[in-house]
Chain A
Amino acid sequence: MELNIYAYKCKRCGEIHYPYKTICKKCGENDHNEFEIVPLPKKGKLLTFTILHNPPSDYEVPTISLGIVELEGGQRITGQLNIKNPKIGMNVEGKIEVVRKEAYNKHLGMVFYQA
């Protein structure tokens, strides 16, 4: 089964929300039963990024790279980068991987590679 990050599409006006909301930000007349769950695209352009040299204590690595990506279709997502020399505007493609490990829990999220 292919893993995805899902967004919330308003059934009335079509506005896509990521992360989810209880009321549609565009038509304002929704409740969360009125959203359709749609997978986010995985390809996009890197909008901005940072290399964090003091990641939170559960990461046992010296640095992590984080970025905001504008996906095909215009949705945006924050994710981790696995790219050697990231540059603003470069094409990237996401994979769903473990992005954070806690004592009894693993979180899956989007990790971007150079496309």
Chain B
Amino acid sequence: MREVYVAGIGITSFTRLEYPLVEIAAYPGLMALRDSGLKKIDQLYVANMGSGRVNAQTGLASAVVDHLSLTPAGAVTIENGPASGASAIKEGFMAIASGMHDVVMVIGAERMREVNQLEATDFVATLTHPLAEYIYGVTLPSLAGMFARLYMEKYGVTSRHLAMVAVKNHHNAMDNFYAHLHEEITLEGILDSPEASTNNPYVADPLRFYDMCPVSDGGACLILTTAEVMKKINKPMIRIAGIGQATDTHAVHERKDPTDLLAVREAARQSFEMAKVKPQDVDVAELHDAFTILEIAESEEVGFFKKGEGHIALEKGETKIGGKIPINPSGGLKAKGHPVGATGVGQAHEIVLQLRGEAKKRQMQNAKIGFTCNFGGFGNNVVCLTFIKEK
């Protein structure tokens, strides 16, 4: 296998964007071409979950490759739920590692705000089991609510811990120009004060409004290439060192222990093993905190902390920027935003910034190893990536 490096990156704001989905995909592609100095690509992968349903547009990659005037390069659209982004990076990695292509562009793009919030939630709910979950009105927030209730009962996690995740990630996003929410929040405002129940109502009890990610539009791009091409373009050598992917049962009730995220555990294990590093070696991580409880649960399952101790590490401040293992310095899905198909590429974008030393105020000093966890469905399809900065 050939080594695979990140040559260029680009991103749009994750927010409500008032321009067509094709442009949401094309702009980060343009930025990444400029960043890398490359003019041509061999292959384009576009990660997107809902264009057919939400934007009435199919064959997105064909539209994007033409919009960027990169024809006749190959183009493929990848739909893999909220894990589409990292899944597309995996495809791009394999295309280069195999020797099939030399320069691959991976874009993630989503435009969910074209429909209202209820329709957007219902679109994401089509991920659930059609007969055993969807017909009951099960949505992703309700699966997260049931997961959180059991997790809190079992491990002593409280609403306060969940709120602390939100406060931390909102604070991190203040320094991220591209984040959806630039809104500093406090425990008092969302939990302790008499107004808290108005500021922060229940959505999927025990989860409240500030435990949920926003519904975002947005796009992000990575250009991947070989060591040989990297020599010509004079960019920091950020290598994709490990990739892991694993799946779990479609219906959540079928899992032996519904508080286990086996696919996260397995995908992370594969990714670290391939990169030949340990979870403890990671300097900075982006985890899939679509719901605050998931940041805590994933930080345990990927191996940063022991099972049931993630919330204790959070309390001690170990997951803050400057802590032992900063989690979601970008603001995470919670505050940076969650344009579903773009999220995995957006996470990788943040890690590349951190490893390059270009993350400005939210920079983790001397970060050499970065990690992302992109979580699809309710944990039924998970992709974990490990990035290493070479000298």
- Which residues in A have some Cβ–Cβ distance to B below 8 Å? 18-19, 47-57, 59, 64, 66-68, 76-80, 88, 99-100, 107, 109
Contacts of B155 in A (CB 8 A): none
- A27 → B minimal CB distance (Å): 17
In the complex the two chains form, what is the Cα distance from A20 to B36 in whole Å?
49
- A99 → B minimal CB distance (Å): 5
- B248 → A minimal CB distance (Å): 12
- A66 → B minimal CB distance (Å): 5
A78 & B204 in contact (Cβ 8 Å cutoff)? no
Given contacts A47-B258, A48-B149, A66-B137, 5 further A-B contacts (CB under 8 A): A56-B121, A67-B146, A88-B153, A100-B135, A109-B135
Chain B 39-77 against A: per-residue CB contact (8 Å), 1 yes, 0 no? 000000000000000000000000000000000000000
- A107 touches which one: B135, B142, B202 (CB < 8 A)? B135
A50 & B205 in contact (Cβ 8 Å cutoff)? yes
Q: Which chain A residue shows the least CB distance to B145?
A: A50
In the complex the two chains form, what is the Cα distance from A107 to B252 in whole Å?
20
- B145 → A minimal CB distance (Å): 3
Asked if B254 is at the interface of the complex by the 8 Å CB criterion, the answer is yes
Contacts of A67 in B (CB 8 A): 146
How many chain B residues touch the partner (CB < 8 A)? Answer: 36
- A100 touches which one: B137, B142, B149 (CB < 8 A)? B137
In the complex the two chains form, what is the Cα distance from A28 to B142 in whole Å?
31
18 A–B pairs (Cβ distance < 8 Å), ordered by A:
A19-B250, A47-B253, A47-B258, A50-B142, A50-B146, A50-B204, A52-B137, A54-B117, A56-B122, A66-B142, A67-B146, A68-B252, A68-B253, A77-B132, A78-B251, A78-B252, A80-B137, A88-B153
Contacts of A54 in B (CB 8 A): 117-118, 121, 139, 141, 203
Contacts of B229 in A (CB 8 A): none
Q: Which chain A residue shows the least CB distance to B153?
A: A88
Contacts A50-B145, A52-B204 known; A78 to B138 CB distance under 8 Å? Answer: yes
A99 & B135 in contact (Cβ 8 Å cutoff)? yes
- B131 touches which one: A19, A47, A49, A57 (CB < 8 A)? A19
Tell me the interface secondary structure of chain A in the complex: strand
Contacts of B145 in A (CB 8 A): 50-52, 66
A57 & B122 in contact (Cβ 8 Å cutoff)? yes
Asked if B324 is at the interface of the complex by the 8 Å CB criterion, the answer is no
Q: Which chain B residue shows the least CB distance to A54?
A: B203
- B124 → A minimal CB distance (Å): 11
Nearest 3 interchain pairs by C-beta: A50-B145, A51-B205, A19-B132
In the complex the two chains form, what is the Cα distance from A100 to B122 in whole Å?
13
- B132 touches which one: A18, A49, A53 (CB < 8 A)? A18
Contacts A66-B137, A78-B136, A88-B150 known; A56 to B125 CB distance under 8 Å? Answer: yes
Asked if B119 is at the interface of the complex by the 8 Å CB criterion, the answer is yes
- A88 touches which one: B135, B149, B201, B251 (CB < 8 A)? B149
Chain B 149-164 against A: per-residue CB contact (8 Å), 1 yes, 0 no? 1100100000000000
